[in-house]
Amino acid sequence: MSEYLPGLAGVPATKSNISDIDGEKGILAYRGYPIEQLAKHSTFEETTQLLLDGDLPSAEQLAEFDRNLRHNRRVQYHILDLMKTFPATGHPMEMLQTAVASLGMFYPGNDCLTGGDACSDLNYIHNMTVKILARMGTIVAMWEHIRNGYEPPEPRDDLTYAENFLYMFTGREPDPMLARIMDVCLILHAEHTINASTFAVLVNASTLASPNSVIAAAIGALSGPLHGGANQKVVEMLKEIGSPEHAAAYVDEKLANKEVIWGMGHREYKTKDPRATILQKLVDQLMEARGGDINPMFETAKAVEAVCEERLAKKGVYANVDFYSGILYQEMGIPADQFTTIFAISRCAGWLAHWREQLKDNRIFRPTQVYTGHAARDYVPIDKR
């Protein structure tokens, strides 16, 4: 009888050379490069190419990749028309999953995946990767205008990925500092080994489903509050707390009732999430640049983290990446229900890297189970039950 481990905790699902975590030391690396170095020196475009291809690109390679991303930002007007039929009250993650799934109908070309063998056409894989990633940001930004009754602005080829996203989302020229913070946020969320949404990628990719379907499945997994939806919950929690002086009482009440403190703790880390450390520094830099004139929620967040560290550090529970990201997004004028769609835009880079890796040595996933039902028994006619 096979051993059953709830949630497949600690069970290796694949071999991968894309990213690595040392939870005891609080280390996250993409292709061997520490996340701190990438956040400081790289861009989302360069980091994406690193995840996809395995090495940092040359200047010429990066310029070509960036140019392809910029030239594929636009979507057909049919997709815009489709999105206009969605209810304005629908959650942005449900919109994104539906819109991404529909891309294959408007941009056909999955012949590479219709045979019995996994696709080995790197040009097909690269082109599909660029098109999906380029359009993710466009779709999310378009929705913010559509659901409010306005026509969305056209993408701009003269802006970086982060700059164009903020421009399309807000309709204004992006603040350079906020654009750089957005760029770093995209880098930090781009990849994180085999989490729930990435596992969804592996399972769906193993069936040779289209890449649009693969990413749509990952978006569905990411939408849950135990995965990508936690950053929205953090902001709601901080609003409920109200001010720094209420932090201790709130945390103590939650702990006494054994309730979740959103943004605290991570299955992989026994120390502070390295991405949370970087985001906290960005918060401090933004506060300094603005002379302290910034959302008071930042101070409440710091107070909550200090209380949680005092109460929970001995259990290995510290702030994770969700704790500060949502607050930064709010400062950019992004509503809370759109936080997880930004997570999806970023993580799409890692998802597509795993899609490509899965196709290299594909075998369909078919796990087993531990049966706990009835022993064999005979059917009873309905008039004798």
Q: Which residues are catalytic?
A: 266, 322
Q: What is the chain's length?
A: 385
CA 370 to chain centre: 32
82 half-sphere exposure, CB direction, 13 A CA radius: 16
Placement of tokens 């005979």 in the chain = 378
Tokens read off for 79: 């997709």
CA distances from 20 to 128, 167, 222, 275, 350 (A): 25, 33, 20, 14, 12
Is residue 247 within 8 A of residue 239, CB to CB? The reply is no
Tokens read off for 38: 């990438």
How would you label 240-275 residue by residue, b for 16+ Cβ within 10 Å and e otherwise?
Answer: ebeebeebbebbeebeeeeeebbbbbbeebbbbbbb
Q: Residue 34 belongs to what H/E stretch?
A: strand 33-34
CA 169 to chain centre: 18
149: left (phi over 0), alpha (psi -120 to 50) or beta: left
